Amino acid sequence: MLDWLNAVPEWALGIAAILLLIGAAEGGVIIASPHKRAPEGVDRFLSTLAAPSIGLLALMIGFTFSMALSRYEARVAEVVDAANTIGKAALRGRMLPEPYRSAVIPLLKEYATLRVAREGEQVASSAMTATNRRALELQERLWNEATVAAASSPQVVPTGLFIESLNDVIDTFEKRLHAGRDRVPMPVFLMLEVIAMVAFGFTAFGAHWGSAYIRWPMWVMAALIGVVITLIIDLDRSENGLITVSQQPLLDMIETIK
């Protein structure tokens, strides 16, 4: 139901997070109207509410960051695995007898080129869908070539090794697709924002009734927390933004396929 939020740019979500936090702080000030006399000890009571709220916010930030980081590291590992498996298949493809060698090497190079993720290309975009469809077609053609080669020379060891490597290439394709689609659930980010708003609201409420509220430090903290939330979202969306998964292992491997 919240999948549409994944299409919203990170900067827009960051600005929204900052504005909501500022709004929560100002809302706490409005509720603690200066025209109302604070009951005895209420500022101390509100301080006891603000402290665990801030602690819960810190815990939630750490939890969400850990989830996003683990997914980012999985995507990095899948790029390296893809480069290794395709490179191994290309090396073993060189050992195939002709005409199979000349057939599979260009197909593997085109396949490797397709596996290089392009910055800014969304996981569920039509361009990515077309790229994955073409990659599956190349897998089918490579498998057909390997099948024909095995049928013509069933006792040749290089053919069996190439089929084994090609099977690893196909497995890696599915793993990398899953890693690219696996993101921190959006309700986790929404809960993080709600906890942050509650913490800011309680803090501003108690500070205002205690005559210790100063607006600009609260706004600065709202901006900092909003930037942190934006950073976590950016880490979770590794296909674009400031933090992206390097495709250099694949690019280096493509240069070796000849």
Q: How far is CA 132 from the centre of its chain?
A: 19
Better-predicted residue by pLDDT, 119 or 31: 31
- Average pLDDT for 123-143: 84
**Which residues form the domain of 57?**
3-256
Retrieve residue 33's tokens: 């109207």
Structural domain count, the chain = 1
pLDDT at 65: 94
Digit-coded pLDDT (tens) for 202-212:
888 777 766 66
pLDDT at 216: 80
Better-predicted residue by pLDDT, 139 or 5: 139
pLDDT at 43: 55
Contact call for residues 242 and 75 (beta carbons, < 8 A): no
**Token pair 């209420």: residue:** 42
pLDDT at 63: 92
pLDDT at 116: 87
pLDDT at 203: 82
Is the per-residue pLDDT at 141 higher than 70? yes
Digit-coded pLDDT (tens) for 32-86:
665 555 555 555 555 566 777 888 889 999 999 999 999 999 999 999 999 999 9
The three-class DSSP label of residue 9 is coil
Which of these, 166, 171, 162, 176, lies nearest to 247 by C-alpha position? 176
Digit-coded pLDDT (tens) for 158-204:
788 888 899 999 999 888 888 888 888 888 988 999 999 988 888 88
Digit-coded pLDDT (tens) for 227-242:
999 999 988 887 777 8
pLDDT at 183: 87
pLDDT at 45: 57
Torsion of the alpha carbons at 39, 44, 49 and 51, rounded to the nearest 10: 160
**In angstroms, rounded to a whole number, what is the distance separating the alpha carbons of residues 30 and 97?**
80
**In angstroms, rounded to a whole number, what is the distance separating the alpha carbons of residues 92 and 90?**
5
Phi, psi of 240 (to 5 degrees): -155, 180
Q: How far is CA 45 from the centre of its chain?
A: 40
Which of these, 138, 153, 128, lies nearest to 86 by C-alpha position? 138
Mean pLDDT (the chain) is: 83
Residue 225 pLDDT class (50, 70, 90 cuts)? very high
Cis ω for the linkage preceding 99 (within 30 of 0)? yes
Is the per-residue pLDDT at 138 higher than 60? yes
Which of these, 214, 98, 206, 87, lies nearest to 149 by C-alpha position? 98
**In angstroms, rounded to a whole number, what is the distance separating the alpha carbons of residues 126 and 181?**
15
Retrieve residue 203's tokens: 């803090």
pLDDT at 123: 66
Contact call for residues 13 and 184 (beta carbons, < 8 A): no
Contact call for residues 33 and 208 (beta carbons, < 8 A): no
**In angstroms, rounded to a whole number, what is the distance separating the alpha carbons of residues 239 and 9?**
12
Digit-coded pLDDT (tens) for 79-129:
999 999 999 999 988 888 888 888 899 999 999 998 887 765 666 667 788
**In angstroms, rounded to a whole number, what is the distance separating the alpha carbons of residues 54 and 49?**
9
